[in-house]
Amino acid sequence: MKNMSNNKFEKEKIKMTPETGFNLVGIDYFENPGNQLYIVEHFDMYQDALTAKKDRKIQDEYFILYKDQNNEFCVR
């Protein structure tokens, strides 16, 4: 599990992290900084979000955003 501090998309990731569940988020490198992330789909279960990420052609261009049991922002 990775904490989101020290990341160029940090503010965008926090904004797109759901209160519950998991968001699969993609990166649009052609957008302006601060507006490069977009939500692909929301999932109730982590395994479903992970499967959806694995189905993507370029997995490195996608994140799974969620809050852990301590209400900390997390990305995978």
Three-state SS for 7-30 is CCCHHHHHHHCCCCCEEEEEECCC
pLDDT of residue 11: 87
Domain residue limits, the chain? 2-75
Question: Would you give the end-to-end CA distance of the chain in angstroms?
Answer: 6
Cα separation, 41 vs 38, whole angstroms: 9
* Averaged pLDDT in 10-residue chunks for the chain of 76 residues: 57 93 95 92 98 95 94 92
